[in-house]
Chain A
Amino acid sequence: MRRALPRFVPAVLLAVALLAAWELYCDLGGVQGAVLPAPHAVASALWDNAGLLGHNFAVTAEEVVLGLALALAAGLAMAVAIHLSPLLRRAFYPLAVGSQAVPIPVIGVLLVFWWGFGIFPKLVVIALICFFPVLVTTIDGLASLDPERAKLLRTLDASRWQTLRFAELPAALPAALSGARIALAVGVIGAFIAETSTPTTGTYTGLGREIVLDAGGFQTARAYAATALLFAFAIVCFHSLAVAERRLAPWRRTAAPGAAR
């Protein structure tokens, strides 16, 4: 009898194969170490700089988590407001779409001018990048309550608020969580953009800034080590969200495409 493989096995096998190919490419002299460090060089850079990278990772992880929370709160609140008010939809939606085209470095200095060198301007940048998928999916989710159920609620004398609370919001939850997963996927790169586009002070300024400094300072292996941390962090976050979704929306059997299972 064949037994099913644990779910993570295919991903691990593929990762090992890619790493082996990469290692071989470097070892056979396909490219210089300063351009592309071999995996073993990245691993030793990670080991040697564990303290530095660890501290910077903590900074970036905090930014991502808080920024994402801010994006979720803003996206959900805005989606409900737009759902309830056609006027707001007409007024705000086009601007929200346009906001996605604004290159963050253009406004980075302004954000620091408003809120200083602390973490908050970075959270705002991450939230600006992440709120949009949450907004769009949640608006669609809120409108996904089928008309027959809406009619039923009317014969049960549900108020507008009750319809929202008992039906529309739960109906929107799976879509909102899908939006959160997309937001998370862009959230880590959002943290990179946030760190590199807002002036900052302090000892540890996050993996994003570390990567830029190292890439410019011929510390390519360390830049790759920092990148590897971000890579792993994104996977962990995505899985946590998938677990949260199964907990929060157990009625949804067919998970969204791309759901980490």
Chain B
Amino acid sequence: MAHGSSSPGADPSNLWGNAREGSDVTTATRSRAGASPVGPLRTPAERRGAELAVERLEHTYRSERGAPVRALDDVSLSATAGELVAVVGPSGCGKTTLLEVVCGLLEPDGGTVAGPAAVLMPQRDLLLPWLDALENAALSLRLAGRRRGPALAAARELFCELGLDGFERARPDELSGGMRQRVAFARTLLSGKRLLCLDEPFAGLDAITRSEMQQWLAGSLQREPRTVLLVTHDVEEAIVLCDRVIVLSRRPGRVLAELEVALPRPRRAGDAQVAALRARALAQLGGGGA
């Protein structure tokens, strides 16, 4: 696989080309403790200091008909420890490809990923129907070699923390879509990995459940802080949940803009400031993605 484009001395002009586009939408400096004020796009050096550093990723895959599809084009992004980063973009902009590369499921054609071990939470909950809710959550621990008893005990503790208690013995087909995603999230947390890659986790849910789940996830991540890369096509969801929003273009996905979200928490989908940021992000998508 070609990794030539990833050398540290690579010409940064492309990156800065994107930065100019993004500069006018960045509204605030970072508010999280310990973070320095940053511009619209981090410099390569800043990215190297981050927990997750994705540099100049490109990937082309073959469609089912055999035609080459360019999914990612020179995508760079980073996340500091404990940061919640959203990647938004239209359908088919390579978001899922990006997560698969970050999770090590896919070898990219070019570029590098430097970061801790990542775990994927897919859009479909993918719970195993032959296990009950608790066993499904504990699956991560079982696969990590933990024995059944201690694994279930650890999962039970997390169930209480995440408001899942009482559903331990339920089979997946007895749970609602929202509950299944909560169990899937518990399983993701219990993998013990520092980086969570959430692939449109709420896309399959109805609007009311989705908004409930967003609040629930925000609360859960406050109790169990992790670095999160959240992929979604819902800009509002990205703004409600995350510290930073990266806007990808239509395929091939390239970074159009980065927005710092320095709004106080908890945020709600209807808040005026959320709506204002959303409008700006969508303007970027409309302008750059055509």
Which one, B100, B139, B187, contacts A166 given CB within 8 A? Answer: B139
Given contacts A152-B120, A155-B119, contact A166 B144 (CB under 8 A): no
> Smallest Cβ distance from A175 to chain B, in angstroms?
13
Contact residues in A for B130 (Cβ distance below 8 Å): 170-171, 173, 249, 251
| Interface residues of A, count at CB 8 A | 22
Taken together as a complex, chains A and B put the C-alpha atoms of A166 and B151 apart, in Å, by 14
Give chain A nearest CB distance to B188 CB in angstroms.
Answer: 9
> Are B105 and A151 in touch, CB under 8 angstroms?
yes
**Within the assembled complex, what's the spacing in Å between the Cα atoms of A159 and B130?**
19
Q: Choose from A152, A158, A170, A250 the contact partner of B126 (Cβ within 8 Å).
A: A152
Q: Which of B88-103 contact A (CB under 8 A)?
A: 100, 103
Pairwise interchain contact B139-A250, C-beta atoms closer than 8 A: no
Contact A156 B128 (CB under 8 A): no
The answer to whether B126 touches A156 (Cβ under 8 A) is no
B122 in complex: contacting residue of A152, A159, A252, CB < 8 Å: A152
> Would A166 and B142 count as touching, CB distance under 8 A?
yes
Indicate if the CB atoms of B119 and A253 lie closer than 8 Å: no
- B157 interface hit (Cβ, 8 Å): no
With A155-B105, A156-B119 known as contacts, the answer to whether A251 contacts B143 (CB < 8 A) is no
Complex CA–CA separation, A166 to B140 (angstroms): 11
Q: State the CA gap A166–B126 with chains docked (Å).
A: 13
**B173 interface residue, CB < 8 Å from A?**
yes
Taking CB atoms, residues of chain B closer than 8 Å to A151 are 100, 105, 120, 122
Any B CB within 8 A of the CB of A149: yes
Q: 11 additional contacts, CB 8 Å, given A153-B143, A156-B144, A167-B128? A: A148-B126, A151-B120, A152-B122, A155-B104, A156-B119, A159-B143, A171-B130, A173-B130, A251-B129, A251-B130, A251-B173
The chain B residues found within 8 Å of chain A, CB to CB, are 100, 103-105, 118-120, 122, 124, 126, 128-130, 139-140, 142-144, 171-173, 187, 191
Task: List the B side residues contacting A170 at CB < 8 Å.
Answer: 128, 130
**Closest chain A residue to B128, Cβ basis:** A167
Q: Is the pair A149, B105 in contact by a Cβ cutoff of 8 Å?
A: no
Q: Are B122 and A166 in contact (CB under 8 A)?
A: no
Closest 4 CB pairs of A and B: A251-B129, A170-B130, A155-B120, A158-B143
- Whether the Cβ atoms of A149 and B128 lie closer than 8 Å is yes
The answer to whether B143 and A157 have CB atoms under 8 Å apart is yes
Query: Are A149 and B126 CB-contacts (below 8 A) given A155-B118, A251-B171?
Result: yes
- Interface status of A99 (Cβ within 8 A of chain B): no
Q: Which chain A positions have C-beta within 8 A of B143?
A: 153, 156-159, 162, 166
A154 in the interface, Cβ–Cβ < 8 Å? yes
Q: How far is the CB of A168 from chain B (nearest CB, A)?
A: 11
- State the CA gap A162–B141 with chains docked (Å): 12
Interchain Cβ contacts under 8 Å between A and B, 19 examples: A148-B124, A149-B128, A151-B105, A152-B120, A152-B122, A152-B126, A153-B143, A155-B118, A155-B119, A155-B191, A156-B191, A157-B144, A158-B143, A162-B143, A166-B139, A166-B142, A166-B143, A170-B128, A251-B172
- Which positions in A face B, CB cutoff 8 Å? 148-149, 151-159, 162, 166-167, 170-171, 173, 249-253
Interface contact B142-A154, CB-CB below 8 Å: no
Report Cα–Cα, A252/B129, bound state, in Å: 8
Chain B residues in 8 Å Cβ range of A249: 130
The distance from the CB of A254 to the nearest CB of chain B, in whole angstroms, is: 11
How far, in angstroms, from A122 to B105 measured CA to CA in the complex? 50
In the complex, residue of chain A having the shortest beta-carbon distance to the beta carbon of B130: A170
The residue in A152, A171, A252, A253 that gathers the most chain B C-beta atoms within 10 A of its C-beta is A152
Chain A residues with CB under 8 Å of B144's CB are 156-157
Docked complex Cα distance between A170 and B119 (Å): 23
Instruction: Give the one of A153, A156, A171 with max B CB within 10 A.
Output: A156
A162 CA to B173 CA, complexed, in Å: 23
A153 neighbours in B (Cβ, 8 Å): 143
Complex contacts, B142 vs chain A, CB 8 Å: 162, 166
Contacts of B173 in A (CB 8 A): 251, 253
Minimum CB–CB distance for B187 against chain A, Å? 8
- CB contacts (< 8 Å) of B118 on chain A: these are 155
* Complex: A167 Cα to B130 Cα, angstroms: 9
- CB-CB under 8 A from B120, the residues of chain A are 151-152, 155
Residues of B with C-beta under 8 A to A250: 171
In the bound complex, how far is the Cα of B126 from the Cα of A148, in angstroms? 8
CA distance A156 to B171 in the complex (A): 21
Chain A residues with CB below 8 A from B122, complex form: 148, 151-152
Q: Which residues of A contact B103 (CB under 8 A)?
A: 155
Cβ distance A140 to chain B, nearest Cβ, rounded Å: 17
| Chain B residues with CB below 8 A from A155, complex form | 103-105, 118-120, 191
A143 to B118, alpha carbons, bound, how many Å?
A: 27
Bound-state Cα–Cα, A158 to B119, Å: 12
Complex alpha-carbon distance, A156 and B122, angstroms: 12
Identify the closest chain A residue to B100 (Cβ).
A151
- Whole-angstrom CA separation of A159 from B143 in the bound complex: 8
> For residue A170, which residue of chain B has the nearest CB?
B130
How far apart are the CA atoms of A242 and B258 in the complex, in Å?
58
CA distance A78 to B144 in the complex (A): 28
